[in-house]
Amino acid sequence: MATKLLLTFAICRLIVTVGLTLTPMELLQLGVDGELTVDPSDIETASLDFGRLNRAEPLAVLYPASAEDVARMVKAAYESAQGFTVSARGHGHSINGQAQAGNGVVIQMSGGDDGVLGGVTVGKAGRVRIWEKLGYVDAWGGELWIDVLRSTLEYGLAPKSWTDYLYLSVGGTLSNAGISGQAFNHGPQISNVYELDVVTGKGELLTCSAENNSELFHAVLGGLGQFGIITRARIALEPAPKSVRWIRVLYSNFTAFTQDQEYLISLQGQPASQKFDYVEGFVIVDEGLINNWRSSFFSPRNPVKISSLGANGGVLYCLEITKNYDQSTSHTVDQDVEALMQKLNFIPASVFTTDLPYVDFLDRVHKAELKLRSKGLWEVPHPWLNLFVPRSRIGDFDRGVFKGILGNKTSGPILIYPMNKNMWDGRSSVVTPEEEVFYLVALLRSALDARDETRTLEYLSNQNRQILRFCDEARIDVKQYLPHYTTQEEWMDHFGGDRWARFHRRKTEFDPRHILATGQRIFRPSLASDAVVAASW
């Protein structure tokens, strides 16, 4: 009875605020099995995200028990007289409020570790189903990748492509791309999806693939939540290795560093023994990081002093690579690694290596998260900037940003690694540079309440703007990954003429009232109430 009263109150609030045409009893009769709540703690959680840069309070939060719950809520929004916005939220790791729905409804897709969604206990089989012989897994859109991994490992299998952090939802990463050091070989996560169930902006629950409803399938992958909410994804699997040889080496010369990275990703089509399985890298511009960069990775008994290595322009570059192996290949891993390493031009004294279980390598960032949480340094503003930089201009970017704008303070990791464009499907909604090789540069900084001005939110945000302005003035055609713009004109420039026309056409087809994912600020919602529009923009 208490649950029904709370639900009725939530519906009444929607009626008063946005003119919902359905009565409370009619919406109750839609058969929502989850929980629609206006509890202050739920509202507060849905108002924020990992970025801690924006706050937008929804009217209500829906914890769905099924895809049908999602479809019923979106259809109610689509058919309401004045309309209201709906955004899907996974684990809340957006940076700039992309999953927020001011004066709308947030659909909380990710449940707790106990298998509870919307107050309804859902067994693991209901959220993740492994098709061992067919080599794929069906996962609920709100499932976290760490739980997908745990489930598939029970069958000796694992997805092929990852993100560096696994506590992200399946639907969330597939709505962007999903990238890590495996992307050069397997492509982003969106290149490893066979089929999706999607709730469109009209409230239709559709199954789509490259062969069936293909326009919706390609639109949703990397579509920033604009065309539908992913409720199920069928993801490709491969045999999971048992162990990983994890290697880091240093460079003082940027050209040598990028040449080696590009050589390693050029081995994409070679047999497994003749290539690494993961290629990433990062930039070291902070003197403190130069002295401590290996503290969480290597044995403190290693006597090499990183600070004694000559750094061109005060900057060092770290190449990070891995080789997967299991019992059948453990006797050859040393010689395979050695053969590959002989072709690289790193600083000889800077080789650091460790071996660890495959799952521990994939879940490596979570350990850092736990440390930061224990120090109260996790729930702070994160003014992150992620850029795709064309290969031909990465040297100019190094000189202007790494050796220029950043100075000798970073306030967080700076990742840099190349990817092969031929592993990305041009039919998806993701925007990448036109060149066949492009780099991810990810400035993953945290703003802290410290006496050091260079670690404040204002300083880091201004520095991000300075980096973007430098790229614009130098005519480096970067594309933002996890993009954030505040005007449609900026979005049109981001996509470019033909791609914007396709993106706009898809929006008109699949979300004609522009009610989905308005936190992205791409399309103004078609709502009758100016108050609702103002709250969303």
Residue range 341-353, pLDDT digits in tens: 999 999 998 999 9
The reported pLDDT for the residue numbered 285 is: 86
**What is d(CA 283, CA 399) in angstroms, rounded to the nearest whole number?**
13
With a CB cutoff of 8 Å and minimum separation 6, the contacts of 147 are 113, 127, 128
Q: Encoding tokens for residue 117?
A: 């969604």
Res 27: pLDDT: 45
* Long-range residue pairs from 450-459, CB within 8 A, at least 24 positions apart, any chain: 452/409, 454/407, 454/409, 454/411, 455/409, 455/411, 457/53, 457/381, 457/383
Binned at pLDDT 50, 70 and 90, residue 274 comes out as: very high
Q: How far apart are CA 379 and CA 364, in angstroms?
A: 19
Q: pLDDT class for 119, splitting at 50, 70, 90? A: very low
Amino acid identity of 241?
P
Q: Percent helix, strand and coil across the chain, each rounded to 5? A: 35, 20, 40
- For 24, half-sphere exposure in the C-beta direction (CA atoms, 13 angstrom radius) is 13
pLDDT of residue 310: 64
Q: What are phi and psi of 280, to 5 degrees?
A: -135, -170
pLDDT, average across residues 373-383:
94
Do 146 and 158 form a contact (C-beta atoms < 8 A)?
no
pLDDT digits (tens, 9 = 90+) for 24-70: 444 444 567 999 999 999 999 999 999 999 999 999 999 999 999 99
Q: Is pLDDT at 530 greater than 50 in this prediction?
A: no
Q: Residue 195: what are its φ and ψ, rounded to 5°? A: -160, 150
CA angle (116 as vertex; 114, 121 as ends), nearest 5: 105
Mean pLDDT throughout 327-336?
96
Predicted TM-score (pTM) of this structure: 0.91
Distance of CA 201 to the CA centre of its chain: 22
Residue 536 — very low, low, confident or very high, per pLDDT cuts 50/70/90?
very low
Distance CA 220, CA 218 (A): 6
Supply the residues annotated as catalytic. 93, 164, 280
| Interval 114-141 mean pLDDT | 72
Residues 448-457 have a mean pLDDT of: 85
